[in-house]
Each structure stands twice: as structure tokens, then as C-alpha cells.
Amino acid sequence: EVQLVESGGGLVQPGGSLRLSCAASGFTFSSYWMSWVRQAPGKGLEWVANIKQDGSEKYYVDSVKGRFTISRDNAKNSLYLQMNSLRAEDTAVYYCARELPRFATFDYWGQGTLVTVSS
Amino acid sequence: QSALTQPASVSGSPGQSITISCTGTSSDVGGYNYVSWYQQHPGKAPKLMIYEVSNRPSGVSNRFSGSKSGNTASLTISGLQAEDEADYYCSSYTSSSTSLYVFGTGTKVTVL
């Protein structure tokens, strides 16, 4: 069974940093693109970033470029999102999702971790 | 990159059929057959229901179907059931320079 479990969320002040993790199991993690997708409270979904199987390609939505860094450790079956210079508008539940670029879709999602940026 | 436009809410009685629209542009919905639909129950993770406009993943009920015409994609739920009450989001690949994927504004489906 495919499982994605996020962790690392919490309350952080504006300008602060946070590192999210996503532990994957039930599939060959190193064979898949992975993405982070976020959802602000009461709002819709927003794609944030993705990373190729070997980490050689990474893409970001414009609003987080230069502040967020996506990475992965295939030996640990883990995906990460380093978030710096956090803003109030980054407040959201962050989901990690397995991506199928061939179909431009996300077939499995974790339960999410809440990041709150507030003073 | 603006979000794809969906109606805020759609409702129907058990057994009825409903359709949710998702309107974009030629840079996303109209330009590619890469429209997906996700179901999200309150406090839960999204679940993939449809990909590539009309394909159902294994395990998804055939009561869910998708289609597209021009810049508008649609999700139809037939034989509406109480468990279908949830939020639904469309998404598409986009050729925008600001993002790779764009999601819809979301539609709350209520079973009367």
C-alpha cells in the first residue's frame, strides 16, 4: 500500500524557516517524480514544487522561487521542502504527492502538515 | 497564472446526475489533454478520480466520468450517493511561465 506521511509543520514567525519531510513507503520511491502541493485554510490547492527521480531537475511556482528548496533522499525514501523567508501567505497545509508526469497528475497524496506563519 | 474557474457549489438528490465545469484557457485546459479531477472530504487528503480528461484510476467508481470541450472540462457524477458529498478540484498542466500545474477554484458538492 502506498503511504506518504508528512511531518515538520508548525508555527513560525514571518521571515523564519521550516523544513518539511515526507516519508514514503509501499512503492519504489526512486522511480517517481514527487511534488509538494499546498492548501491555504479554506482555500483551493496550489502546486508548489516538484523534483525528478534522481533530483537532477526541480521546478517551483514563481511565488516560492528563491525561498523554498525541494530535495529528496532516495536511500531514506524521503522528500523534503526547506522553506526560508516565510510569509503569512505561506500559511497552508502542505501535502506531498506522487506525480505521474506522463499523465500530468498526482495519484497518491499524504495527509498533509500544517504550516502557520504568524507573529 | 489564474486558477481554473469552477462553480462554488453544485447539489443534487440521491440517484441524480450532476456535472461540474472547469474553465481555463488555451494555455492549460484547452491546450492539453492533461485535466485531472480530485475529490476531497473535509480534513482529508485529495483523492485522484479522473486523469487525462476521462481516464479513471483503478478502484474509482464508474459513476465518475470526465470530458472536455474547448477550454472547459467537466466531471459528471451519476447515481449520486451520500458519500459523494465533498469538494472537487480540477487541475491541468499549464504552459504558463509561472507554474507547471494549475488547480481549479473548487466545487462543493452537496447531496440533498
- Rounded to whole angstroms, the Cα distance separating A15 from A106 reads 30
pLDDT in tens, B50-88: 999 999 999 999 999 999 999 999 999 999 999 999 999
Residue of B nearest to A114 (CA): B43
Of B45, B100, B103, which is closest to A59 when you measure between CB atoms? B100
C-beta atoms surrounding B67 within 10 Å = 14
In the predicted model, is pLDDT for residue B41 greater than 90?
yes
Overall average pLDDT of the A16-26 stretch: 98
In the predicted model, is pLDDT for residue A71 greater than 90?
yes
Contact call for A105 and B89, based on CB within 8 A: no
Q: Strand ranges (DSSP E) for chain B?
A: 9-12, 18-23, 35-40, 47-50, 64-69, 72-77, 86-93, 101-103, 107-111
Residue of A nearest to B87 (CA): A44
Contact call for B36 and A106, based on CB within 8 A: yes
pLDDT in tens, B98-110: 999 999 999 999 9
Contact call for A62 and B100, based on CB within 8 A: no
- In terms of Cβ atoms closer than 10 Å to its own Cβ (0-12, 13-18, 19+), residue B31 is middle
